[in-house]
Amino acid sequence: MSVGDVEDLVTLIRAYNPKSDSELIRRAHAYGEKMHEGQFRHSGEPYFTHPVAVAAILAEQQLDDASIVTALLHDTIEDTGSTFGEIEEKFGREIAELVDGVTKLTNLQLNSTASRQAENFRKLFIAISKDMRVILVKLADRLHNMRTITAMRPEKQVQKARETMDIYAPLAGRMGMQWMREELEDLAFKVLNPEGRASIIRRFIRLQRESGDVIHKITGDIREALDKAGVEAEVFGRAKKPYSIWRKMQEKEQSFSRLSDIYGFRVITETEDECYRVLGAIHRRWRAVPGRFKDYISQPKTNGYRSIHTTVSGRDGKRVEVQIRTRQMHEVAETGVAAHWSYRDGVRVENPFAVDPAKWIATLTERFDSGEDTDEFLEHVKLEMYADQVFCFTPKGEVVKLPRGATPLDFAYAVHTDIGDGCVGARIDGIRVPLWTRIRNGQSVEIITAEGQSPQATWLDIVATGRAKSAIRRRLREADRSRFIKLGRELARVAFEHVGRKATDKALATAARRLGLKDGDEVLARLGSAELVARDVVALLYPEAVPVADEIEVESAVVGLAHGQSFERAPCCQPVPGERIVGIAFRGHGVVIHAIDCDGLEEFAEQTERWVDLHWQPGNHPAVHTVSLDLTIANDAGVLGRICTLIGEQGANISDLEFLDRKPDFYRLIVDVDLSGVEHLHKVMTVLEADSDVATIRRLRDAGRKLPRPEEKVRSEGERDVQA
């Protein structure tokens, strides 16, 4: 809805809240307009049109005056000369704290490196826990920015769209604001994959031309079935958003023509009893699709969402998804936790299904503190934010909520850590199953334990929840701790003696403090497990004692070339410093260096006169030697970002990235990484191989990837000239 001036906004608010403090809204509007005077958006519009539009989005959700005023003022502290004290003086403490909270959220870089991202996510949830309305304002702010994103530079559009898809859309969904999640996802999809979105829309138009108005026909069929059953209800139908369709196509690996549930229908009743009567009428009229029934009325989601979902084979055999809920359930389904602050006829709405935000945020964050480092904390956050839930039962009938894809091991750790640690087997619905079995909605799970059992390292690849991963890692660390400490003590002794020092308890305690670790034993344990390098610990304490070698220039990296002779690394084997090498001479075009075991050398086996004996210059090489890594990683939220971060944390740069295969569970991709040598390569590959979301990793050495011959180079350059 477009809001032109302050009176339009006041009218919109008073329509649902006649007791609104209109004078407060007017004063906030006047103050915000004055503070943003002379500022303009990328589109050329006055900047204050943005805060007004954000306020209108919140008014459409029927939120309280404090939230509306915060929207009008949310950029004043950040972008103008306004201060917390000034806003507190003019509008009160509550609004000042809300504006300050939104300002702090705006400054958080949620797509930064893993350590920064973990700390910023922690700050995000602290801000939300103080007052949930700050995130409601921030989401409305992001929604309006995405609606007007075309005015931004293309690279900025991609950055904002990716951040929206990865963080803000899932967060809106986790808060129960499904309409906002869908719109944010679709707006981001429009930027990130405009061709994909356009193709979905074109297919929808063609389908409508071929089969007519399917929504109108099926809506009529449902109303007819309800009339026969004597149930009064409202029926609505809609085509699903293009991004929702695209995601289903990717997940199910199906073409648009084979995709069945591209339409969704909603039935709104007055009472809970009528919901089940509607369900009976629909199932009598059409055949239910097995495995597609969910009763969120008897088992609500933690964010208050209640509804019955069923899928049936409707008109012409088309699958139709139907959601059935009462009017009050529908209000919560549309606005999620925002329903707690919504008003009607001047009073806050007493909706029995709206969850208390304080309890909700406690549920969301209850397990975050169990993470022992930044990676584990991020894992907890993202699993809680992004995962859909399944509901299963203990043998006594108690409900356990787990993320989709969870296994009996996740179930065991959700019940109690000791049960998880001692797990040796499981039964689902009375049948013995492997521990890697994925639990489905409504199943009963029984865990079999045994004394003396302890977690296995392979369990990390089986479990899906942050709680289980954290508990397993902790027990594995404890089991290996004494061995790692003993090994780490020896590594530390050698490294310290190398610079004439001793690895005393005091020195190790100082290193632990600077590294943010518990104590000296933790430093030794991490040295022994290769999480820390002994030389780095020495350099941290005695930087003057650890010489820094000058980097070797790339031009002089290879020894054995004739004066003025140039060289290139062969793309088939991509040799790096530290590996044995040999050169193949090309007349007038220098030398191409290969690893001594490269299959590509077979081509020159009979031309020994062209072979040049070479070796790498000993010393400190810069990280400029590109190596291709073939990776298969889990297709989960945040995995690719974490893999890139891990590479960066090893001092390596990603120069290129190419997806070879995309599956619902896995991605296969080629990552080109710039490295200093073979030790650097080993370090990067070891770190990646240890990550539980990396299924396979190998160095890509392909004899088919050859340098073009000199004559091929000339021809290809000539072809480019002609084409240009």
Here the CATH number for the domain that contains residue 668 is 3.30.70.260
**351-369 pLDDT per residue, tens:** 777 776 666 666 655 545 4
In this structure, the strands spanning 666-675 and 653-662 are antiparallel
**274-297 pLDDT per residue, tens:** 999 999 999 999 888 887 788 889
Residues 588/710, Cβ–Cβ less than 8 Å? yes
Query: Would 94 be classed as within a structural domain?
Result: yes
Nearest CA-CA partner of 672 in 586, 603, 569: 569
Query: Can you point out the beta strands (E) in 665-712?
Result: 666-675, 694-699
Active-site position among 37, 45, 78, 418? 78
Query: Which comes out higher in pLDDT, residue 627 or 314?
Result: 627
Residues 42 and 112 in one domain: yes
What domain range is 288 assigned to? 211-348
**82-110 pLDDT per residue, tens:** 899 999 999 999 999 999 888 877 766 65
Residues 157 and 228 in one domain: no
The pair of three-digit structure tokens given for residue 723, joined into one six-digit string:
């084409």
Q: What is the mean pLDDT of residues 60-74?
A: 91
Query: Would 277 be classed as within a structural domain?
Result: yes
Query: Would 355 be classed as within a structural domain?
Result: no
For residue 224, what is the enclosing H or E element? helix 214-229
Query: Would 562 be classed as within a structural domain?
Result: yes
271: left (phi over 0), alpha (psi -120 to 50) or beta: beta
For 686-719, letters b (16+ CB in 10 Å) and e give ebbeebbbbeebeebbeeeeebeeeeeeeeeeee
Residues 480 and 335 in one domain: no
Residues 672 and 720 in one domain: yes
Query: Would 451 be classed as within a structural domain?
Result: no
Residues 281 and 322 in one domain: yes
**78 counts as catalytic:** yes
Choosing from 514, 545, 576, the residue where a domain stops is 545
Residues 540 and 639 in one domain: no
Active-site position among 79, 94, 490, 672? 79
**307-359 pLDDT per residue, tens:** 999 988 876 667 788 999 999 899 888 877 777 777 666 677 677 777 766 66
**CATH number of the domain that 324 lies in?**
3.30.460.10
Residues 157 and 254 in one domain: no
Choosing from 192, 220, 250, the residue where a domain stops is 192
**CATH number of the domain that 53 lies in?**
1.10.3210.10
C-alpha pair distances (Å), 64 with each of 31, 56, 88: 19, 12, 18
Query: Would 170 be classed as within a structural domain?
Result: yes
Q: What is the mean pLDDT of residues 447-471?
A: 86
pTM, two decimal places:
0.54
pLDDT of residue 718: 34
Q: Can you tell me the distance from the alpha carbon of 268 to that of 393, in angstroms, rounded to the nearest whole number?
A: 29
**79 counts as catalytic:** yes
Residues 171 and 133 in one domain: yes
Residues 541 and 573 in one domain: no
Residues 559 and 707 in one domain: yes
Give the pLDDT band of residue 28 (cuts 50, 70, 90): very high
C-alpha pair distances (Å), 275 with each of 183, 265, 301, 323, 442: 27, 14, 17, 10, 20
Query: Would 404 be classed as within a structural domain?
Result: no
Query: Can you point out the beta strands (E) in 416-491?
Result: 423-428, 431-433, 445-449
Residues 60 and 182 in one domain: yes
Q: Which of 44-58, 122-136, 293-307, 693-707 has the highest mean pLDDT?
A: 44-58
Q: Can you tell me the distance from the alpha carbon of 17 to that of 21, in angstroms, rounded to the nearest whole number?
A: 9
Query: Would 391 be classed as within a structural domain?
Result: no
Average pLDDT, rounded, for the chain? 82
Domain count within the chain: 4
Q: Can you tell me the distance from the alpha carbon of 589 to that of 285, in angstroms, rounded to the nearest whole number?
A: 78
Sheet holding 694-699, edge to edge: 653-662, 666-675, 625-634, 694-699
SS3 assignment, position 615: strand
Residues 259 and 163 in one domain: no
